[in-house]
């Protein structure tokens, strides 16, 4: 179908109106969503911290401090048993939330206690005897050390009265009747529960308090929350002794997408879960999308009207020029050509040479500006190279048991190769070498991002194959298209045992020289191939974990394909066999010289040709088995 100039202009105006509007609108929506996400994360974490601080404030100021004062008073040797009981009665009366104070002594059968009268009446009305909440005289009190520390007991829920109680036990310094003694208290948590339930955030979102086993507190059913991903993470942190505040995006057991944060009180083994649905968090984005659709429709209408007006204003004089050209072709040189005095493209037809001069001047000016821009770009690329090189280790520790050193020679100002080592603990060191697909700035950007992801995962996951699987999952979350992927070999060496455990995500297998095995090329052989797949291309990749026993004198060399695929002027690759032979000549050198001299040799091999790919290498030499120092 032939498009007339008018139709082309109409189409052009529609596109020029809709594309910027659509791009700007979607970018604005994305920015708004990111801002809302950040704001929601801050709100969640701040709320979780606020509630943790509120619980700690209850613990310190409302419960612990008054109980310690009562303990100090009761601990006085100058008081008789009757006076001590009077002190307990005063404590129950004056200290908020304390429903029971009880003096306990080892092997003492008769309990000494004072219970709040109002609370006692509530129990009696519910048909509950007081001894139900008394501390068991058969309790192994010797398990509580004689110090200043307050021991917090388990939660008690009295279903008949809907009361939540927590036990607090403080050792006395002085003996009671010649026996070790303790001050024990039952604390009513209903006021704390009411404070949390009336928190402003709880009006439209969910605040949950759970114990260290993942069961809900202040819920008479006490459901198990561990199926909830947020609660599961919190339980793991409590069991591990960590009290880190964290914000997570997850899907709850009902399939709803959620934003949530967890925090932990300092003095109680509880977890605070604060949750909000993504639908509520991003409600403003949905409204923006609806508004954007309306503006697109409005923009389309404006573009059509404008295009029609402009098309007719432009095509009318051109048609007159076509008529004049037809008359000229018929030999009519008396025709009057219209538009000579117009100050637009039609008028410029009669001044083409003058326009040519102006265009030439503009061209020279633009060329000068382009040259300046190129110089600025070259300067920025050099700076980018320096920044990227700072990510790659250039100094390596001087250890007695193991020596390692690495080098990266990018093909351009910046590249996609990287090496890294990580001190896992005082006995183990992780070694990694990777190659991001592509070259130049895009590869460098992805390399930097993947390296950060890799390091974060290594702090959370121990096994090399699980680290690579988690990295694959994270990369696909960032770029589901799989357009930018990475090959990565990762291994962990245990200095005490000499065991090198490793896994591979599509990378070249390293060369190893074992002292107890003499092979071809001076003993260097490629590690046996294992199940592998590049990271970042597809989900559910299958990787394999392998181990290798290393002895003193053994050498491992990690490398990227830039070394073996380097070509000389005759289009001959350097290849794995040449590399193995070269390594066999240099294995007695230090790890640093092995890397430096090997790369220099390969650069000389491809002399006369531009370096095609990044060259990266990491050498590991075992000196002895022992402490990693």
Per-residue pLDDT of 501-520, as tens digits, reads 999 999 999 999 988 775 54
Q: For the chain, what percent of residues have pLDDT higher than 70?
A: 74
- The top-scoring range by mean pLDDT among 286-295, 337-346, 446-455, 591-600 is 591-600
Adjacent-strand bridge partners of 170: 183
Q: What pLDDT, in 10s, does the model give residues 452-461?
A: 889 999 989 9
Superfamily for domain range 197-281: PAS domain (3.30.450.20)
CATH 3.60.40.10 fits 392-622, yes or no: yes
Cα–Cα distances in angstroms (integers) from residue 596 to residues 31, 202, 399, 406, 586, in the given order: 46, 62, 20, 8, 11
Q: Specify whether the CB–CB gap between 401 and 622 falls below 8 A.
A: yes
From the CB of residue 476, how many other CB atoms can be counted at a distance below 10 Å? 18
Residue 144: phi and psi, rounded to 5, are -95, 120
> What gap in Å lies between CA 172 and CA 103, rounded to an integer?
9
Q: Specify whether the CB–CB gap between 496 and 626 falls below 8 A.
A: yes
Residue 77 corresponds to which tokens in the numbers above? 């040797």
Higher pLDDT, 255 or 420: 420
Tell me the pLDDT band of 624, cut-offs 50, 70 and 90: very high
Q: Specify whether the CB–CB gap between 227 and 242 falls below 8 A.
A: no
Question: Residue 330, class by beta-carbon neighbours within 10 Å (0-12 exposed, 13-18 middle, 19+ buried)?
Answer: exposed
> What gap in Å lies between CA 296 and CA 284, rounded to an integer?
18
Tell me what pLDDT residue 431 has. 96
State the DSSP H helix or E strand holding residue 104, giving kind and residue range, or none if neither.
strand 98-105
> What gap in Å lies between CA 145 and CA 156, rounded to an integer?
23
| Cα R_g (the chain), whole angstroms | 38
Tell me what pLDDT residue 5 has. 59
Cα–Cα distances in angstroms (integers) from residue 570 to residues 508, 567, 606, 608, in the given order: 24, 8, 9, 10
Four-CA torsion 196, 184, 80, 129, nearest 10 degrees: 90
**Domain-wise residue ranges, the chain:** 197-281, 339-378, 392-622
The whole-model pTM stands at 0.45
**How far is the first Cα of the chain from the last one, in angstroms, to the nearest whole number?**
78
> What gap in Å lies between CA 421 and CA 12, rounded to an integer?
55
Q: What pLDDT, in 10s, does the model give residues 372-410?
A: 676 665 555 565 566 566 667 888 998 999 999 999 888
Residue 258 corresponds to which tokens in the numbers above? 């959620």
Tell me what pLDDT residue 83 has. 81
Mean pLDDT of 326-335: 57
Three-state SS for 265? coil
> What gap in Å lies between CA 616 and CA 624, rounded to an integer?
26
> What gap in Å lies between CA 177 and CA 416, rounded to an integer?
77
Higher pLDDT, 569 or 140: 569
Closest residue by Cα to residue 469 from 454, 481, 491: 454
Cα–Cα distances in angstroms (integers) from residue 136 to residues 63, 71, 111, 167, 416, in the given order: 21, 20, 9, 12, 67
Residue 199 corresponds to which tokens in the numbers above? 């928190």
Tell me what pLDDT residue 458 has. 92
Cα 513 versus chain centre, distance: 38
Q: What pLDDT, in 10s, does the model give residues 62-78?
A: 898 898 888 888 887 77
């Amino acid at each position: 179908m032939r498009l007339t100039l008018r139709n082309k202009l109409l189409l052009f105006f529609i596109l020029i109106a809709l594309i910027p509007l659509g791009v700007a609108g979607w970018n604005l929506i994305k920015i708004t969503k990111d801002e809302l996400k950040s704001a929601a994360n801050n709100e969640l974490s701040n709320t979780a911290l606020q509630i943790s601080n509120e619980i700690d404030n209850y613990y310190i100021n409302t419960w612990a401090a008054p109980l310690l004062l009562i303990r100090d008073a009761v601990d006085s040797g100058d008081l008789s048993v009757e006076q001590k009981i009077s002190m307990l009665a005063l404590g129950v009366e004056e200290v908020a939330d304390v429903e029971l104070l009880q003096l306990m002594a080892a092997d003492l059968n008769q309990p000494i206690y004072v219970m709040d009268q109002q609370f006692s009446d509530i129990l009696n009305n519910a048909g509950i005897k007081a001894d139900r909440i008394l501390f068991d005289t058969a309790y192994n009190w010797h398990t509580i050390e004689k110090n200043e520390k307050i021991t917090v007991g388990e939660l008690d829920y009295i279903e008949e009265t809907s009361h939540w109680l927590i036990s607090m036990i403080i050792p006395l310094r002085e003996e009671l009747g010649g026996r070790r003694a303790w001050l024990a208290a039952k604390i009513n948590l209903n006021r704390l529960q009411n404070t949390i339930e009336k928190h402003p955030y709880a009006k439209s979102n969910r605040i949950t308090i759970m114990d260290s086993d993942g069961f809900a507190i202040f819920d008479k059913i006490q459901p198990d929350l561990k199926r909830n991903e947020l609660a599961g993470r919190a339980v793991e942190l409590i069991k591990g002794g960590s009290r880190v505040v964290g914000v997570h995006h997850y899907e709850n057991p009902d399939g709803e997408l959620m934003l949530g944060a967890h925090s932990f009180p300092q003095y109680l083994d509880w977890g605070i879960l604060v949750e909000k649905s993504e639908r509520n968090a991003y409600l403003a984005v949905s409204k923006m999308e609806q508004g954007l659709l309306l503006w697109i429709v409005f923009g389309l209408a404006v573009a059509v009207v404008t295009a029609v007006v402009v098309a007719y204003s432009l095509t009318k004089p051109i048609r007159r020029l076509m008529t004049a050209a037809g008359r000229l072709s018929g030999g009519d040189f008396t025709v009057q050509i219209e538009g000579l005095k117009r100050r637009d493209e039609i008028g410029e037809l009669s001044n083409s040479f003058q326009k040519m001069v102006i265009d030439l001047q503009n061209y020279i000016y633009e060329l000068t500006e382009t040259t300046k821009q190129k110089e600025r770009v070259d300067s920025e690329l050099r700076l980018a190279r320096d920044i990227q090189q700072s990510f790659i280790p250039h100094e390596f520790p001087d250890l007695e048991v193991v020596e390692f050193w690495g080098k990266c020679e990018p093909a351009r100002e910046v590249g996609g190769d990287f090496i890294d080592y990580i001190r896992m603990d005082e006995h183990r060191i992780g070694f990694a070498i990777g190659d991001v697909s592509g070259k130049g700035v895009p590869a460098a950007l992805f390399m930097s991002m993947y390296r950060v992801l890799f390091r974060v995962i290594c702090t959370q996951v121990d096994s090399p194959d699980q680290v690579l699987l988690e990295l694959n999952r994270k990369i696909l979350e960032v770029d589901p298209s799989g357009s930018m992927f990475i090959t990565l070999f990762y291994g962990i060496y245990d200095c005490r045992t000499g065991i090198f455990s490793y896994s591979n995500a599509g990378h070249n297998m390293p060369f190893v020289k074992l002292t107890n095995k003499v092979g071809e090329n001076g003993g260097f052989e490629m590690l046996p191939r294992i199940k592998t797949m590049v990271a970042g291309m597809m989900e559910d990749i299958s990787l394999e974990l392998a181990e290798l026993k290393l002895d003193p004198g053994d050498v491992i060399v990690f490398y990227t394909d830039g070394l073996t695929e380097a070509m000389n002027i005759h289009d001959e690759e350097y290849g794995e066999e040449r590399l193995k032979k070269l390594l066999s000549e240099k294995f007695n050198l230090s790890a640093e010289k092995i890397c430096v001299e090997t790369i220099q040799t390969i650069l000389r091999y491809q002399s006369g040709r531009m370096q095609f790919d990044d060259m990266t290498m990491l050498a590991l030499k075992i000196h002895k088995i022992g402490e990693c120092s």
